[in-house]
């Protein structure tokens, strides 16, 4: 019997229909998985007491979109709710992805009030957020005649100690005066110095003191309104600095604009200090041709930085100013009389040639393309950063380096802790055979330096779970691997991690060696240790950790109980 052509067409169509439906069904599976709706919930608590905070606005931001190199990321969508009388908050119908929880009205820094996490299918995510009871500090800033002064006023927390890279800041809160010279600052409870900064002139500390040693350390209690703290900006000054600096000829149309800008930063030998002063502008007066003199300054030790003025740079766009800024830096001590520095000349820039040295039996397997950016960073004043491009042969060149002592860090652009390719670690950075990773790199004027970055295989991983004293997960606890004291002083020498909401932590790519391992219960107090590599902080807490020896390639698992943070 001959098959009917119509029946054959029917079977072909049926087969095609089944095939199409099977493809659509298979394609629908991941779509269904991606559309799983989850719940994010938790409690807003007060740090320390862990009491719930009612009526606090909570924001869920995300999911975060794909990051496109070279393009400013678009802010993800967000949702809001308010914590109930028990401090509880809840978001339903949340898709898997990367999110940020924020308490936007809290007075902490962003680091303290936000929690970043990845939401995956499973039990509801319970996350604690922190909110301090607000305290208010206010007052008025005037001159000696009672006129309002435009200024920035800030509460700055004291530090554990002065580190070798300058002063380590533990956090600050502040704002500006209004048209009547009044200011108001919201801050969490703590002990602070109250600092006044003006555009041109030295800083003051309450009550109207230039020297921090004579300033008042103010105790701000939780949820209080402090009595008014007023400033009278009339600094008793009388010492000047004079110098000569010949400028290249300028076009006639820019002859009357300011040509130089001088900033000063007060230095101190005190062990207990606040943050490194960001510096203040010093008024300059032109005298005798190429001569300049400063406005009167209080006695003390200063670091002076001379730059070309912004007005001059903008007026001469045809000049290539790269490599010309800053011009020079000098340290000057003012004691009983004016100082004349004589004729000053620009500091000569240096250059650095470097290479990546791969060590170990697996050196041939190391892919230089996977090496994160290496970064030079000038720590005391910040902002002067060099990021050379490492070539396929592992070599790089950095030109026009300002003479200074540099703190060396690597891959500070890709947080949080995985700074090297998996299985590798930074063993040393050497210049002239000397390890400069810990002590830093001193770049002399006009020098040509060689720098070697030693990368070795055999890094270890440390992981575990942190729990609180009441056996709850130690969410947000700070886990530290503190090396011997000889290795303190340079960033990235103290491996760390923040515990996840479940209490789990992981520190990858750890260099083999001896450490002290401990977890600290921050309880929303991260502002007190923004720079926890401060040597004073490490001295206070290192002995509390358990001694561990990490072997090459080891996967060490240690569960920890979070210890209270000592003030």
Q: What is the mean pLDDT of each run of 10 residues along the chain (567 residues)?
A: 45 43 42 66 80 90 60 67 94 88 76 76 79 86 90 76 38 84 87 84 84 82 87 78 83 72 72 49 84 86 86 80 78 89 90 87 75 55 60 83 74 44 82 79 88 88 92 84 74 72 84 92 55 66 90 93 81
> In this predicted structure, what is the pLDDT of residue 68?
44
Report the SS3 class of residue 24: helix
> In this predicted structure, what is the pLDDT of residue 490?
52
| CB-based contacts of 31, cutoff 8 Å, min separation 6 | none
Domains (range + CATH), the chain: 38-130 (2.60.40.10), 135-232 (2.60.40.1120), 241-343 (2.60.40), 350-457 (2.60.40.1120), 461-564 (2.60.40.1120)
- 125's tokens: 């995510």
Task: Look up tokens 């209270």; give the residue.
Answer: 564
Please report the beta strands in 202-322, taking only residues with DSSP state E, as ranges in sequence order: 204-205, 218-220, 231-232, 241-244, 260-267, 280-282, 284-287, 291-294, 300-308
Report the SS3 class of residue 476: coil
> In this predicted structure, what is the pLDDT of residue 537?
74
Instruction: Check if the beta carbon of residue 474 is closer than 8 Å to that of residue 376.
Output: no
Four-CA torsion 507, 508, 513, 514, nearest 10 degrees: 10
> In this predicted structure, what is the pLDDT of residue 67?
47
> In this predicted structure, what is the pLDDT of residue 164?
34
> In this predicted structure, what is the pLDDT of residue 34?
47
Instruction: Check if the beta carbon of residue 518 is closer than 8 Å to that of residue 478.
Output: no
Please report the beta strands in 411-486, taking only residues with DSSP state E, as ranges in sequence order: 424-431, 434-435, 441-443, 448-457, 460-467, 478-482
- Give the whole-angstrom CA distance, residue 515 versus residue 481: 6
Cα Rg of the chain (Å, integer)? 29
- Nearest partner of 119 among 45, 36, 58, judged by Cα: 36
Report the SS3 class of residue 521: strand
């Amino acid at each position: 019997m001959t098959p009917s052509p119509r029946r054959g067409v029917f079977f072909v169509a049926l087969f095609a229909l089944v095939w199409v439906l099977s493809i659509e069904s298979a394609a629908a599976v991941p779509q269904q998985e991606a559309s799983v709706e989850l719940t994010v919930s938790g409690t807003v608590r007060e740090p320390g007491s862990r009491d719930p905070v009612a009526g606090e606005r909570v924001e869920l931001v995300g999911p975060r979109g794909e990051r496109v190199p070279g393009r400013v990321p678009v802010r993800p969508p967000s949702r809001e709710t308010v914590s109930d009388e028990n401090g509880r908050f809840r978001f339903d119908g949340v898709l898997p992805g990367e999110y940020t929880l924020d308490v936007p009205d809290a007075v902490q820094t962003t680091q303290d009030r936000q929690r970043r996490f990845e939401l995956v299918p499973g039990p509801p995510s319970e996350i604690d957020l922190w909110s301090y009871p607000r305290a208010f500090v206010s007052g008025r800033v005037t001159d000696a005649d009672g006129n309002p002064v435009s200024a920035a006023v800030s509460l700055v927390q004291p530090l554990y100690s002065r580190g070798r890279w300058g002063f380590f800041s533990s956090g600050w809160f502040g704002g500006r005066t209004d048209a009547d010279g009044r200011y108001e600052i919201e801050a969490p409870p703590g002990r602070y110095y109250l600092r006044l900064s003006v555009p041109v002139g030295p800083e003051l500390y309450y009550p109207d003191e230039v020297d921090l040693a004579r300033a008042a350390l103010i105790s701000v209690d939780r949820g209080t309104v402090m009595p008014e703290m007023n400033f009278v900006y009339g600094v008793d000054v009388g010492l000047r600095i004079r110098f000569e600096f010949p400028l290249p000829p300028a076009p006639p149309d820019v002859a009357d604009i300011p040509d130089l800008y001088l900033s000063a930063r007060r230095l101190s030998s005190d062990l207990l200090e606040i943050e490194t002063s960001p510096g203040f502008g010093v008024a300059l007066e032109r005298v005798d041709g190429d001569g300049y003199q400063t406005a009167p300054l209080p006695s003390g030790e200063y670091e002076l930085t001379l730059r070309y003025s912004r007005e001059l740079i903008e007026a001469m766009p045809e000049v290539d100013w790269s490599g010309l800024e800053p011009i020079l830096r000098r340290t000057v001590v003012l004691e009983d009389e004016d100082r004349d520095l004589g004729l000053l000349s620009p500091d000569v820039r240096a250059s650095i040639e470097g290479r990546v040295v791969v060590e170990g039996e697996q050196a041939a397997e190391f892919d230089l393309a996977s090496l994160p950016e290496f970064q030079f960073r000038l720590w005391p004043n910040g902002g002067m950063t060099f990021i050379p491009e490492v070539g396929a042969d592992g070599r790089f060149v950095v030109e026009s380096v300002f003479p200074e002592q540099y703190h060396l860090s690597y891959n500070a652009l890709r947080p949080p802790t995985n700074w090297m390719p998996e299985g590798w670690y930074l063993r040393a950075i050497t210049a002239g055979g000397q390890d400069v990773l810990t002590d830093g790199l001193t770049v002399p004027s006009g020098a040509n330096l060689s720098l070697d970055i030693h990368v070795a295989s055999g890094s270890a991983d440390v992981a575990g779970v942190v729990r609180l004293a009441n056996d709850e997960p130690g969410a947000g606890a700070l886990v530290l691997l503190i090396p011997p004291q000889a290795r303190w002083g340079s960033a990235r020498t103290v491996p760390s991690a923040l515990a996840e909401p479940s209490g789990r932590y992981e520190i990858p790519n750890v260099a083999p060696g001896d450490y002290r391992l401990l977890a600290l219960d921050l309880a929303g107090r991260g502002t007190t240790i923004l720079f926890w590599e401060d040597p004073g902080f490490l001295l206070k807490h290192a002995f509390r950790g358990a001694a561990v020896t990490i072997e090459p390639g080891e996967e060490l698992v240690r569960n920890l109980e979070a210890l209270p943070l000592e003030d």
